[in-house]
Structure 1
């Protein structure tokens, strides 16, 4: 019942052009910045750790823009859920897709860090091609909406995070691309510490493991929010990966994410407690 009600509201919302949604997102995003104090504090702490050379005013400016970009992204989920295929093709621009086509005959791990447009990029791919991805079970209607969006085209395989690595290996060995979101703090049991913005950061080392086990290439895909449009950019497949050195491979991944976050600082997801797990003896940064 809740899903049907939310879906109906999103159907009404999707009638609005995305550019107008972005105008609406400015006051709404600024309102969220001021009223969601706990997440604002997490975001400012992350930015202080990652950009110590910035002034406090600059960090607050970037985080305000982050809330605006995030709000426009969330409003646009109405289009992901209800928009026609032709509208989605106009909304989401795939750039440098030839980098993906160049390795289509091999298993592909699409490296998709937590930038705000990641669900747009995933849907744009599955309009034309089958694929797979992993999801974490969450409470509430947004979880149902998210799964519905990801399932709209080409019957993608959606793997629960709790199901572990085996289903991912099977899909990759069948040459079904895997849309992989690697950059969240999953705790000390599953992680190793690798530098990210110069900070020892608990990071899943699964990228190198998966590539080694399946012979897959790693193809970064970064999707960002532009003016009136979403840009999903495909980077060249990584060469000399995996290296056989788990820490080096994980560090390479973190360095790539850091480089893109510096290019698009308002669009990386700063509201996650990315540095929650600390090396033994270090105090919490939050």
Structure 2
């Protein structure tokens, strides 16, 4: 396993110096291969799309599924240059757009801020683009990988630029709030199914989905505003859109806030459905009495 991993990581370091069209072309080829051979994961994608887009035709959903596997492969290979190419190359491929005031505050602000970063395939590119532009403490919650070599590679890559503080998911809420209360930035990705513990069931495209209410709770307890960050893979790299802060968030009702988060996330997804992380079993945890969907 270690030899295979070392060869894979070595390949990524070499690929970092290849022209972007070559990297993307290789990713497109691998994506089509994955869509064909990764049958269990393809079934997960197909079920997710059928649940979330019942109004779309089977042909439309198949097209989204094929594209999403291409984006899986391309975004993974892009980590080669994100984490190993010269800084100038990385910066030239990452375009930060959107709300100028919020972009400025991310870079130079002094108040606590939560960046709501949904699981689009460009999430690592977005984190890199923003940490390159600020020396504010940038906190992120991380689930350690089983493979220690891959774990070290990911941690090093994500912490390559800026002042990145990696928080272990198992350490709980205390270090997260400490970071916010020191006027830091929290890069938060709460839109996955992490099981039944400490979660609530709220609609996601009309389907009850186990969701951690952390965005609401961290915002309220840390007295931090929420700024959405939406990443989009483009032919020349990535566009990272910083949206205006949510003015009506949080409330005193974490469940209602979490439902609102999912509703707004749906609006972001609808602009580019194939770039969302459909390979995740978003509905694996079901409310009591409901049968499994996968």
- Give yes or no for TM over 0.5: yes
Q: Secondary structure at the match of 1:156?
A: strand
CA drift of 1:128 comes to: 2.3
Q: C-alpha separation between the residues in 2 aligned to 1:192 and 1:42?
A: 22
- 1: CA distance between counterparts of 2:99 and 2:245? 11
Deviation at 1:188, TM superposition (A): 1.6
Alignment partner of 1:134 is 2:119:
no
Candidates 61, 64, 67, aligned match of 2:63: 61
Aligned equivalents of 1:176 and 1:11: distance in 2?
Answer: 31
What is the CA–CA distance in structure 2 between the aligned matches of 1:269 and 1:259, rounded to whole Å? 15
Question: In terms of mean alpha carbon deviation, does 148-157 or 262-271 score higher?
Answer: 148-157
Q: Aligned residue for 1:151?
A: 159
1:181 to 177, 186, 189: 189
> Paired residues, what number?
286
Matches of 2:162 and 2:7 in 1, distance apart?
26
Shift of 1:101: 2.1
| Rounded Cα–Cα distance in structure 2 between residues aligned with 1:180 and 1:112 | 6
TM-score by length of 1: 0.96
For 1:36-75, list aligned pairs within 5 A.
36-75=38-77
* 1:270 match: 278
Tell me which residue corresponds to 2:291: 283
Correspondence for 2:250 among 242, 254, 257: 242
Q: Is the 8 A contact 1:100 1:219 kept in 2?
A: no
In structure 1, what is the equivalent of residue 120 of structure 2? 115
Cα distance 1:97–1:88, how it changes in 2: closer, same or farther (>3 A)? farther
Give the aligned CA root-mean-square deviation in angstroms. Answer: 1.4
Query: Where does 1:211-230 land on structure 2 (aligned, <5 Å)?
Result: 211-230=219-238
User: Which whole-Å CA distance do the structure 2 matches of 1:215 and 1:79 have between them?
Assistant: 36
Q: C-alpha separation between the residues in 1 aligned to 2:284 and 2:16?
A: 36
**What do the CA deviations read for 1:152-206 (whole angstroms, capped 9, x no partner)?**
1223110000011110000000011000010111112221011110111111011
CA distance in 2, matches of 1:261, 1:147: 27
For 1:261 and 1:154, how far apart are their aligned partners in 2?
Answer: 29
Aligned to 2:29: 27
Displacement of 1:74 in angstroms is: 0.9
In structure 1, distance between residues paired with 2:139 and 2:39:
35
Taking structure 2 as the reference length, the TM-score comes to 0.93
SS at match of 2:111: coil
Residue 93 of structure 2 is matched in structure 1 by 91
- 8 Å CA contact 1:22–1:228 kept in 2: the answer is no
Q: In 1, distance between residues paired with 2:172 and 2:96?
A: 30
Q: Distance in 1 between matches of 2:217 and 2:127?
A: 22
1:244 is paired with a residue whose SS is coil
> Could you tell me whether the CA contact under 8 Å between 1:44 and 1:59 is conserved in 2?
yes
